Amino acid sequence: MRENVREHCEKLYPVGSVVYLKQAKVRPDGTKVKVMIMGLTPAFKSDKKVGKTKLHDYWGTPFPESAQEVNQLLFNHWDIEKLVFEGYKDELFQKQIETFIQYTEAHWQEADYALFDDTEGGNDE
């Protein structure tokens, strides 16, 4: 279902939130890997396969593992299966959401952002 930028961005979780992704990796013991949201910012990643730049809502890292560069993930809100823990929200978080909205509205046409082209997003690891 299509949403506008504001509706989408107002649903985003703050830094520190822990989630399960729909396409979560599974550890050798059979448990799904949780992801901690480390950044909430429009992140662009070039996708050489399709020749476009992709826009992502979040960057995160496996939890409770560390935030090593090789473990960083880019993903969108629709990639989240379940919220395990919601991070802290205050007036600064609301200001960040407003900035996110303004940036996304200004730049979404430059990227392949499924929210606005009626296709479902995917997890780009």
What would you report as the CA-atom Rg of the chain, rounded to the nearest whole angstrom? 14
Instruction: Please check the confidence at residue 88 and state whether its pLDDT lies above 70.
Output: yes
Mean predicted lDDT score pLDDT of the chain: 78
Number of domains in the chain: 1
Residue 123 inside a domain? The answer is no
Residue 124 inside a domain? The answer is no
Residue 122 inside a domain? The answer is no
- Quickly count: other Cβ atoms within 10 Å of residue 69's Cβ: 6
Residue 35 inside a domain? The answer is yes
Neighbour order of strands in the sheet with 34-47: 73-75, 52-63, 34-47, 18-21, 80-85
Instruction: Please check the confidence at residue 5 and state whether its pLDDT lies above 70.
Output: yes
| Model pLDDT, residue 70 | 61
Full domain range(s) for residue 102: 5-116
| Model pLDDT, residue 48 | 63
Residue 121 inside a domain? The answer is no
